[in-house]
Amino acid sequence: MKHNFPQVDLPVEMLAWRDVTEDILNLYRQSCRLKACIFALCTEGTITASINLMEHKIKKNDLIILMPGTILQLNEQVEKVRLCFVGFSSHCVNGINLLQATMGSFSKIWDNPIVGVSDLIASYFVDYFALLTRISLSHPTATSTAMAQSVLHSILLGINALYANRPQSILAKSRKEEICQKFVQLVIENYMTERRAQFYADKLGISLQHLSTTVKQVTGRNVLEIISHVVITDVKARLKSTDMTIQEIAYSLNFPSASFFGKYFKRHMGMSPLEYRNS
């Protein structure tokens, strides 16, 4: 079954809010796919959510990191819940290479998008989000792309520090979830040179059919979708944040030619690399 999730983006480069309640959260009761990058902290109550089709229970002092491409649906609300958050539009995020910005933590973040923090760390995030809320509400359209990207970089550095010393798997996982976790890690390590599904099945020591079925069951996405998502994330950042030519980007990612690269990008983005760079 193909999942056609509504796409959710932000209307401005950076948007923050320090007191998100049920009225706003109800907008996410239906599944959607985020184009934006969102960081939220639960400050009161408990709620369950489906993130990339995996169920999570969110409670006080849980930090939620939602990368672009995340499939999100808020489910049962156990009690009154409040969150504070800051989000960055796809236009802002596309100028940053998230793989590099999060260094070795990208797969941990993707695999475990919710991490509990201490009261002290939570208070830092509350204060920071409150400051960003004042800026966001006072000058909603005045925040430049460069300014928003600078704030995003600073948050990612803090997030990376939180994950750096944590084990790869915080919760007990099923065999299928372990396969998906290892698959995503392998893609992040090899996407610049390998985009064949068979390569990853061989690296995991399982059949291509087993890998395909497992990834689909756990994530709702197929193997090639996940590989292309990582590739396109990198490409978009290079197009927006560097002066590399289209040919240089193509060769840096080991595409056989600029023409082949252009067709690959257009198939996934609906426009040519140059059109995207100029958009």
Write the CATH number for 202: 1.10.10.60
pLDDT given for residue 168 in this prediction: 52
Does residue 236 share a domain with residue 179?
Answer: yes
Give the mean pLDDT of 232-251.
87
In this prediction the pTM is 0.68
Count of domains for the chain:
2
- Lowest-confidence region among 39-43, 68-72, 199-203: 68-72
pLDDT given for residue 237 in this prediction: 78
Does residue 195 share a domain with residue 158?
Answer: no
Domain range holding 214? Answer: 175-278
Sort strands 62-66 and 14-20 into parallel, antiparallel or unpaired.
unpaired
Does residue 100 share a domain with residue 65?
Answer: yes
Residue 1 within any structural domain of the chain = no
Give the mean pLDDT of 211-240.
87
Residue 2 within any structural domain of the chain = no
Q: How far apart are CA 101 and CA 123, in angstroms?
A: 24
Give the mean pLDDT of 9-28.
82
Write the CATH number for 120: 2.60.120.280
Sign of CA dihedral 170, 171, 172, 174: negative
Residue type, 161: A
Does residue 185 share a domain with residue 103?
Answer: no
Q: How far apart are CA 140 and CA 41, in angstroms?
A: 21
Higher-pLDDT residue of 142 and 272 is: 272
- Looking at 117, 138, 171, the residue that finishes a domain is 171
Average pLDDT of the chain, as a whole number: 85
- Looking at 156, 171, 186, the residue that finishes a domain is 171
Give the mean pLDDT of 15-22.
85
- Residue 14 dihedral angles phi and psi, to the nearest 5°: -140, 135
The pLDDT > 70 percentage for the chain reads 89
- Looking at 120, 143, 171, the residue that finishes a domain is 171
Whether the per-residue pLDDT at 160 is higher than 50: the answer is: yes
pLDDT given for residue 129 in this prediction: 94
Give 126's pLDDT tier (boundaries 50, 70, 90).
Answer: very high
